[in-house]
């Protein structure tokens, strides 16, 4: 085997080169591995890493979440990292190049966290506005998703680490996500939900991850149809496929389906169980185990983790979170900050701008009111896999204030929160410090007993009042698999005297104490909530009178026992241990509301920043309403009633209702923008950035108008979800049914205007679907400022579909291009449309007598416009 060497990466690290990943080298390793070793390799060693085989120089592979930033080894409170805009915001950029640049940042930071595979991007479809993980997706259209996901993967992997396309396939809801059986017809599956994954194969993603739910009766990791037949044989994907965390559902069926790796470890269904399946004759070592091992070894070779026999490879059984975190690097540089800020600004969508209300001109104002719960406390990202510990967070209030006063130092900026919108009191934050280190957060001491007695086995520190052990990896080695306890302690110093409401949720048998007095006994809980991935208790509450500046000891004693939750298929989340303490000063909410309206009434202009938060839009549960939380609608209307110059900024991961849309002068939809949230919003509102974002999802006037309404999320009692809207997802439904959306897919305004002219079409597509057409046009910026426009091309469906009585969208996105132009500048652009844009999938029950993808001869239309409803021209093309 070839010796290994070192080389310097673009980020300045020295990494070891792997041994040659050629076929003969891999074959030699497979021959040298015992059955025990093979079965161990196909399962995680811990939360994030695979096993090592020291005698053969096989090192572990480290994975890390996730789609919103590279968080490293800890689920929460890990090393600092760059928090990028969420997936749906990147979707709104309609700009593959900006997404590629963000992916490149993530690839670089993956290396700095000493990881080899980033568990991203999320490529599922925003089928319903209620989907709890819509913040991770790129939107409702498969072509847009596939295009941007490919750019994301390409950017990550350009840095010499792997990306993971997930979740293959149809991980589109959170309700009963481990158990739900999604009934999806083959044509819909192919044309909508599988298409982005097929497109992404063009950039050769190093890994793929199977989805949690069942599709047509089988969990995806067990599905030979989806994994073996389509992904492997039909598409030719021969890289590693892993389970989602805790989502490996069957020893025999999963390996037969060619799902290679069970994550996380220690294994439950691979490892020893897989070896037993071989011994029992249910699985073939040659036909099933060896191909999966080969794919894993090839991945290890790419990642530089095969060093060859005799190399110094050791196994480390200490806490992997602690061990890995020690090696993780932080690197907060100006260039990265600027790229993330640009990406965040480019995803913001200007929905309304009456009479040129924006950009705001601070020089002409004496008083500016900034109002709303998200103004000082914005939602910067999602929950679950999207949780990161950012280097910093900017908020809209401070960013707008600072930028405005730099223009007009005499400007008076008023602030009022107005309303509270969270579902549970927020964490204690800066009011809490650990007793020994005096650093923000809590100190956690572990005991080898169930009585919180004896010597402290180990101590860890958490940055806030949320303690979250995702697996045994966060627990001292000596306590794993035993009955143990831990005590979390912090010193609380409130800044205001008054009544405070404490909330408490936990796994295990936990008690909350304040200054030694029992505040909440949560040892006998039975009712679950969405906390701790749906394995924690509902919130319990207690109130205390606290004095400003006085110190109070807040502590929790928790006996770690399995939660009393219903059985589900996932093998990880019921192992979570954690406690959450919330605290909220008891405000006079009516006075808060009145103060906000008063501030607006005396201001020359008002900016209202509202939206969802990590309570109301989150992994683990789906939304149930289009409405913004709490009294948001009431606040906006009250502010608009007293001020005619109101700008509403909304934050959400998908569509929301806007019953007040006619009232404000301007509406800006800002998604979740990561650490540059405040700066990006300020850039757009003040005109430093001309908005160019486009909606990657449709906003309905009412939920009943949405194609998913009747069928989402399905029947939780029977665990059945029918995708009965078929291929009519998102804007396709509105078009097919003749319904007017509140805001259409692809829509977004600018501070300038564009004209499209001189449209012509060249090229041809034959009856097999081969070929490309080029649509040429002149685009001119006819306004007074520089700006960017997204030119979108939609294609009509096959005329045969109507003859067969099959549903079809009047048009589907087939291509797009984003072009930036100076004021008065014009440019000729060409937009390619591939032949497969006119293809549809004929299932056996389609009545066609032909199964598979087909392009039918006939006359088709190409619609050119700036949204799905703003079409400026239609051209025809003859196929066949």
User: Which residues are part of the catalytic machinery?
Assistant: 244
The string of DSSP codes covering 266-330 is: S-SSSTHHHHHHHHTTSS-IIIIIHHHHHHHHHHHHHTT-B--TTS------S-HHHHHHHH---
Cα three-residue angle 837-843-844, rounded to 5 degrees:
155
- Beta strand 605-611 pairing with 666-669: unpaired
Bridge-based pairing of strands 646-651 and 605-611 is parallel
Q: How far is CA 559 from CA 113, 361, 600, 611, 857, in A?
A: 32, 58, 50, 37, 69
Q: Which of 280, 230, 295, 291 is nearest to 256 (CA)?
A: 291
- Alpha-carbon distance 640 to 665, whole Å? 9
Structure tokens at 385: 């896999």
Q: What does the alpha-carbon distance between residue 622 and residue 88 come to, in Å, rounded to a whole number?
A: 16
Residue at token pair 């008023």: 414
Query: d(Cα 628, Cα 123) in Å, to the nearest integer?
Result: 26
**456 near 446, Cβ under 8 Å?**
yes
Contact 389, 76 (CB under 8 A): yes
Distances (CA, A) of 12 to 9, 55, 136, 306, 750: 5, 30, 30, 21, 40
Structure tokens at 429: 């934050």
Tokens at 694, concatenated: 């486009």
Determine what percent of the chain falls in helix, strand and coil, rounding each to the nearest 5.
Answer: 30, 25, 45
Strand order in the sheet with 466-469: 466-469, 577-585, 498-506, 540-546
**How far is residue 489's CA from residue 497's CA, in Å, rounded to a whole number?**
22
Q: Phi, psi at residue 509, to the nearest 5°?
A: -105, 100
Kind and range of the H or E run holding 684: helix 677-686
Specify which residues 862 forms β-bridges with: 795, 875
Separation of CA 729 from chain center = 20
Residues 6+ apart with CB under 8 A from 122: 67, 87, 133, 136, 137, 166, 167, 171, 385
**DSSP codes of every residue in 229-267:** IIIIIIT---SEEE--TT----HHHHHHTT--BB-SSS-
d(CA 654, CA 820): 26
Cα 532 from Cα 477, distance rounded (Å):
22
Query: Is the distance from CB of 502 to CB of 581 less than 8 angstroms?
Result: yes
Helix (H, G, I), strand (E, B) or coil at 678: helix
CB within 8 A of 855, min separation 6: which ones?
A: 765, 767, 768, 769, 798, 835, 836, 838, 839, 879, 880
Cis omega (within 30 of 0) for bond into 66: yes
Q: Residues 217, 170: contact at Cβ < 8 Å?
A: no
């Amino acid at each position: 085997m070839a010796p290994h060497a070192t080389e310097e990466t673009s980020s300045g690290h020295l990494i070891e080169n792997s041994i040659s990943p050629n076929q003969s080298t891999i074959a030699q390793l497979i021959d040298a591995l015992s059955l025990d070793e093979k079965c161990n390799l196909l399962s995680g060693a811990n939360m994030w890493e695979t096993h090592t085989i020291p005698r053969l120089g096989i090192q572990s592979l480290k994975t890390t979440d996730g789609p919103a930033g590279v968080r490293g080894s800890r689920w929460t409170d890990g090393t600092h990292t760059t928090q990028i805009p969420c997936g749906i915001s990147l979707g709104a950029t309609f700009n593959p190049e900006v997404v590629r640049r963000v992916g490149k940042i993530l690839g670089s930071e993956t290396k700095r966290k000493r990881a080899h595979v980033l568990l991203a991007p999320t490529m599922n479809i925003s089928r319903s506005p209620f989907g709890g993980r819509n913040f991770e997706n790129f939107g409702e259209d498969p072509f847009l998703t596939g295009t941007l996901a490919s750019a994301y993967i390409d950017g990550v992997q350009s840095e010499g680490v792997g990306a993971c396309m997930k979740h293959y396939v149809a991980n589109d809801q959170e309700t009963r996500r481990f158990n739900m059986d999604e009934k999806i017809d083959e044509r819909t599956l192919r044309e909508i939900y599988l298409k982005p994954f097929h497109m992404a194969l063009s950039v050769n993603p190093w890994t793929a991850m199977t989805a949690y739910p069942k599709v047509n009766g089988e969990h995806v990791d067990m599905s030979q149809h989806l994994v073996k037949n389509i992904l492997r044989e039909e598409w030719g994907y021969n890289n590693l496929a892993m389970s989602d965390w805790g989502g490996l559902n069957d020893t025999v069926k999963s390996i037969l389906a060619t799902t290679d790796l069970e994550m996380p470890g220690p294994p439950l269904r691979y490892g020893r169980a897989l070896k037993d399946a071989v011994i029992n004759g249910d699985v073939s070592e040659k036909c099933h185990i060896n191909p999966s091992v080969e794919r894993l070894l090839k991945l290890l070779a790419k990642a530089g983790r095969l060093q060859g026999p005799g190399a110094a490879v050791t196994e480390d059984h200490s806490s992997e979170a602690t061990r890995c975190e020690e090696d993780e690097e932080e690197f907060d540089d100006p260039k990265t900050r600027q790229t993330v800020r640009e990406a965040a600004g480019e995803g913001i969508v200007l929905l309304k701008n009456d009479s040129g209300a924006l950009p705001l001109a601070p020089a002409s104002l004496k008083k500016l009111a900034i109002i709303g719960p998200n103004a000082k406390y914005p939602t910067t990202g999602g929950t679950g896999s999207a949780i990161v510990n950012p280097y910093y967070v900017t908020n809209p209030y401070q960013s707008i204030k600072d930028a405005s006063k730099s223009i007009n130092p005499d400007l008076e900026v008023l602030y009022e929160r107005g309303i509270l919108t969270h579902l549970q009191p927020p964490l204690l934050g800066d009011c809490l410090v650990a007793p020994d280190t005096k650093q923000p957060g809590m100190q956690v001491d572990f005991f080898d007993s169930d009585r919180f007695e004896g010597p402290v086995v180990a101590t860890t520190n958490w940055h806030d009042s949320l303690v979250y052990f995702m697996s045994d990896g966060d627990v001292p080695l000596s306590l794993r698999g035993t009955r143990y306890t831990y005590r979390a302690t912090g010193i609380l110093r409130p800044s205001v005297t008054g009544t405070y409401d404490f909330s408490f949720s936990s796994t295990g048998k936990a008690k909350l104490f304040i200054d030694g007095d029992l505040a909440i006994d949560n040892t006998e809980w039975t009712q679950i909530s969405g906390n701790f991935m749906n394995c924690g208790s509902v919130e319990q509450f207690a109130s205390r009178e606290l004095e400003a500046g006085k110190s109070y000891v807040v502590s929790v004693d928790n006996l770690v026992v399995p939660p009393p939750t219903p059985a589900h298929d996932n093998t990880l989340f019921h192992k979570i241990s954690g406690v959450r303490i919330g605290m909220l000063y008891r405000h006079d909410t009516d006075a808060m509301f009145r103060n906000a309206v008063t501030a607006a009434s005396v201001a020359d202009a008002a900016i209202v920043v509202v939206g969802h938060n990590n309570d109301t839009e989150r992994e683990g549960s789906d939304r149930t309403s289009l409405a913004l939380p709490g009294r948001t609608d009431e606040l906006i209307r009250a502010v608009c009633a007293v001020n005619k110059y109101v700008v509403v900024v909304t934050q959400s991961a998908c569509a929301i209702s806007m019953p007040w849309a006619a009232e404000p002068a301007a509406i800006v939809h800002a998604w979740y923008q990561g650490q540059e949230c405040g700066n990006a919003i300020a850039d757009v509102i003040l005109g430093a950035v001309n908005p160019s974002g486009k909606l990657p999802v449709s906003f309905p006037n009412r939920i009943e108008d949405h194609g998913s309404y009747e069928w989402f999320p399905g029947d939780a009692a029977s665990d059945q979800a029918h995708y009965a809207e078929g291929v009519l997802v998102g804007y396709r439904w509105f078009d097919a049914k003749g319904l007017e959306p509140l805001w259409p897919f692809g829509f977004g305004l600018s501070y300038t205007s564009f004209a499209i002219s001189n449209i012509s079409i060249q090229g041809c597509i034959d009856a097999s679907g081969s070929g490309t057409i080029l649509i040429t046009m002149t685009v001119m910026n006819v306004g007074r400022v520089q700006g960017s426009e997204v030119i979108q091309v939609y294609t009509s469906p096959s005329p045969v579909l109507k003859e067969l009585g099959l549903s079809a969208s009047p048009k589907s996105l087939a291509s797009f291009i984003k072009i930036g132009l100076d004021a008065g500048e014009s440019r000729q652009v060409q937009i390619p449309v591939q032949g497969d844009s006119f293809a549809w999938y004929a299932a056996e029950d389609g009545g066609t007598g032909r199964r598979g993808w087909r392009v039918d001869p006939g006359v088709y239309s190409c619609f050119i416009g700036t949204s799905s409803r703003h079409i400026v021209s239609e051209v025809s093309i003859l196929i066949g």
